[in-house]
């Protein structure tokens, strides 16, 4: 007697691959195989005593991967993800960052087969050149600063010797480890996900042409497409800048160099974080901000952070755009009004722009905004049917957790579900010291929304844990609807602001009032207790309370 086993085959890139898989399977006694490259499947007639794992082993020996599908009738209510050609629903994803992986994993779980297309390094911005390496650098800089400047009497303070090359090597090792375990190994271990190396562009609304470095172009006709190509550092058109060896965040994070003097163009998240990190590792730092520090956030945050920077010795020049940049053997010369600033290195950190220009989006009918960001609705659908987008290539907030959430929801919608993305409560953290953390509306945003808002700002001198830590620079600010007391937003400048803000986000999501927040039980001594104290300031003078008065 014989049985029929259907296999999902991963790793095939052409019709000849299908021939190779069939040949490998038919080397087993009594086995007959029909293999389809376009469907990435193999239908096998095999004797009853041939187990599926033997078939998979034969496929693996030939250099491909196999997983069993359709070996028994589907249970009642089970999903059957079928594409337009009758095979498994085929999802193609352009990119391999956080949004791409979240989509790939969920689409595979929902029964689709996934082709992920990547022209560069697997893993995207966050693990390779963004969140992970920057937080390693920031933590190292924090440790160096603490050794030399901690506030505790009786413990010596010492200027540490900094080996920037050794730090960079350790950082690169941890990045490589996470890229392998959290990205590359996921592809290798999931036969429903196939990685194609190459650059993809739209040949039509539902056709992708993939230019591959060592193989002929590959044409794909997937049922659904996700654009998840991320963003890249923006380089402003400043005269003389082009052609100089300036750094973007990518080069700054990878470098083993600690420049004597680093000039930083920009005043937002990346500029502020890297400026402070390099200063704490030994560089003289000058920041040139077009507006103010953290100009998109509550002005009290930017002003407080500037004061903290200047207290450390970082020079901050606001409301300045360089007129010209020059470079020679002596370094960089930056003309800003009547002043010339000289520096060994120049970091340009003035924002990022979507990687969408070479995708042929016009051909597919995919609309973009004036920055080139793909426009999507709350289901992550673009203007082209069957084409979705997620991550930093869209106009959504450029945070990895937003990208991952969007990728997952896109996959749900691609595979027949209905999932929207709610961006009404998105916490944000600037990982400087002190950290700036926000969620919800600030006073400006509340006014713009026509809400009559009230606010209270609690200095950290009123938070017992901050006093115990001898770290009292900063504040916790609450914004509430005046008539109801409903919490609308929270802005924090504190050494551990990022560890506090999610509690504020949960309070806003739950529709809590400041009165209800003020009556919650918070552990003592913790920094998050500052939320309770800030809420109490709406009705009482907390300076008249004992340390843990409820």
Place of tokens 């996959």: 411
**pLDDT confidence tier of residue 82, bands split at 50, 70 and 90:** low
User: What would the mean pLDDT of 64-74 be, rounded to a whole number?
Assistant: 59
**pLDDT confidence tier of residue 120, bands split at 50, 70 and 90:** very high
- DSSP sequence for 15-31: HHHHHHHHHHHHTSTT-
**Residue 38 pLDDT more than 80?**
no
**Residue 213 pLDDT more than 80?**
yes
**Residue 135 pLDDT more than 60?**
yes
Given the residues 1, 14, 414, 512, the one annotated as active site: 14
Domains of the chain, earliest start first = 2-69 (3.30.70.100), 90-124+173-233+353-414 (3.50.50.60), 249-350 (3.50.50.60), 428-544 (3.30.390.30)
Tell me, what's the pLDDT at 549?
59
CB 60 within 8 A of CB 10: no
β partners of residue 210:
200, 218
Q: Does 388 participate in catalysis according to the annotation?
A: no
**Residue 76 pLDDT more than 70?**
no
User: What would the mean pLDDT of 21-41 be, rounded to a whole number?
Assistant: 88
Across 102-111, b (16+ Cβ under 10 Å) vs e yields bbbbbbbebb
Place of tokens 């160096």: 144
**Residue 233 pLDDT more than 90?**
yes
User: What would the mean pLDDT of 129-148 be, rounded to a whole number?
Assistant: 97
Residue 459 — φ and ψ, nearest 5°? -70, 150
Structure tokens, 525: 């001594």
Residue 273 CA to residue 308 CA, distance in Å, equals 13
Q: Does 393 participate in catalysis according to the annotation?
A: no
User: What would the mean pLDDT of 423-441 be, rounded to a whole number?
Assistant: 97
Helix count and strand count (H, E) for the chain? 17, 26
Given the residues 340, 401, 524, 548, the one annotated as active site: 548
**Residue 73 pLDDT more than 60?**
no
Q: Does 103 participate in catalysis according to the annotation?
A: no
**Residue 74 pLDDT more than 60?**
no
Cis peptide before 434 (omega within 30 of 0): yes
Given the residues 126, 393, 512, 527, the one annotated as active site: 126
Using alpha carbons, select from 96, 103, 93, 25 the residue that is nearest to residue 64. Answer: 25
**pLDDT confidence tier of residue 71, bands split at 50, 70 and 90:** very low
CB 335 within 8 A of CB 324: yes
Tell me, what's the pLDDT at 159?
95
**pLDDT confidence tier of residue 188, bands split at 50, 70 and 90:** very high
Q: What percent of the chain has pLDDT over 90?
A: 83
What's the start-to-end Cα distance of the chain, in Å? 77
Residue 483 CA to residue 479 CA, distance in Å, equals 12
**Residue 77 pLDDT more than 70?**
no
Given the residues 64, 81, 183, 388, the one annotated as active site: 64
β partners of residue 388:
226, 381
**pLDDT confidence tier of residue 81, bands split at 50, 70 and 90:** low
Distances (CA, A) of 263 to 340, 349, 470: 12, 11, 31
Digit-coded pLDDT (tens) for 168-186: 999 999 999 999 999 999 9
């Amino acid at each position: 007697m014989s049985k029929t086993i259907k296999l999902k085959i991963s790793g095939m890139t052409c019709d000849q691959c299908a021939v190779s898989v069939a040949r490998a399977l038919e080397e087993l006694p009594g086995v007959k195989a029909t293999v389809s490259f376009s469907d990435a499947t193999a239908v096998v007639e095999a004797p009853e005593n041939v187990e599926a794992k033997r078939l998979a082993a034969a496929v693996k020996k030939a250099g491909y991967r196999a997983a069993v599908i359709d070996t028994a009738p589907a249970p009642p209510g089970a999903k059957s993800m079928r594409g337009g050609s009758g095979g498994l629903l085929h999802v193609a994803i352009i990119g391999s960052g956080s949004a791409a992986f979240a989509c790939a994993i969920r689409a595979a779980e929902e029964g689709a087969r996934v082709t992920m297309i990547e022209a560069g390094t697997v893993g995207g911005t966050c693990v390779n050149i963004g969140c992970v390496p920057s937080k390693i650098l920031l933590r190292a800089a924090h440790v160096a600063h603490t050794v030399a400047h901690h506030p505790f009497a009786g413990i010596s303070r010492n200027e540490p010797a900094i080996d920037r090359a050794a730090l960079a090597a350790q950082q690169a090792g941890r990045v490589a480890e996470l890229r392998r375990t959290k990205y590359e190994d996921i592809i290798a271990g999931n036969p429903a996900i196939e990685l194609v190396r190459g650059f993809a562009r739209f040949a039509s609304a539902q056709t992708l042409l993939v230019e591959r470095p060592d193989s002929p172009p590959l044409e794909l006709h997937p049922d659904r497409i996700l654009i998840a190509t991320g963003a890249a550092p923006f380089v402003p058109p400043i005269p003389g800048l082009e052609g100089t060896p300036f750094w973007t965040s990518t080069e700054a994070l990878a470098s083993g160099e600690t420049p004597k003097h680093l000039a930083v163009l920009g005043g937002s998240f990346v500029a502020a974080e890297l400026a402070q990190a390099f200063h704490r590792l030994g560089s003289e730092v000058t920041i040139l901000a077009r507006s103010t520090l953290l100009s998109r956030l509550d002005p009290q945050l930017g002003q407080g952070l500037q004061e903290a920077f200047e207290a450390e010795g970082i020079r901050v020049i606001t409301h300045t755009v360089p007129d010209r940049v020059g470079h020679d053997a002596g370094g960089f010369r930056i003309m800003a009004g009547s002043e010339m600033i000289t520096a060994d290195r120049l970091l340009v950190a003035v924002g990022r722009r979507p990687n969408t220009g070479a995708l042929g989006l016009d051909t597919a009918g995919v609309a973009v905004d004036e920055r080139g960001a793909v426009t999507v609705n709350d289901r992550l659908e673009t203007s082209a049917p069957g084409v979705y987008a997620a991550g930093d290539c869209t106009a959504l907030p450029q945070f990895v957790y937003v990208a991952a959430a969007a990728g997952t929801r896109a996959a749900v919608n691609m595979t027949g579900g209905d999932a929207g993305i709610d961006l009404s409560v998105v916490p944000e953290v600037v990982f400087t010291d002190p950290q700036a953390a926000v969620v919800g509306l600030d006073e400006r945003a509340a006014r713009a929304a026509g809400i009559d808002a009230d606010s209270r700002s609690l200095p950290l001198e009123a938070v017992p844990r901050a006093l115990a830590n001898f770290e009292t620079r900063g504040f916790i600010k609450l914004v509430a609807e005046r008539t109801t007391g409903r919490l609308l937003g929270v802005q924090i400048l504190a050494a551990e602001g990022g560890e506090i803000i999610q509690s504020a986000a949960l309070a806003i999501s739950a529709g809590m009032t400041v009165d209800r927040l003020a009556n919650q039980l918070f552990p003592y001594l913790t920094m998050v207790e500052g939320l309770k104290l800030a809420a109490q300031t709406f009705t009482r003078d907390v300076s008249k309370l004992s340390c843990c008065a409820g």
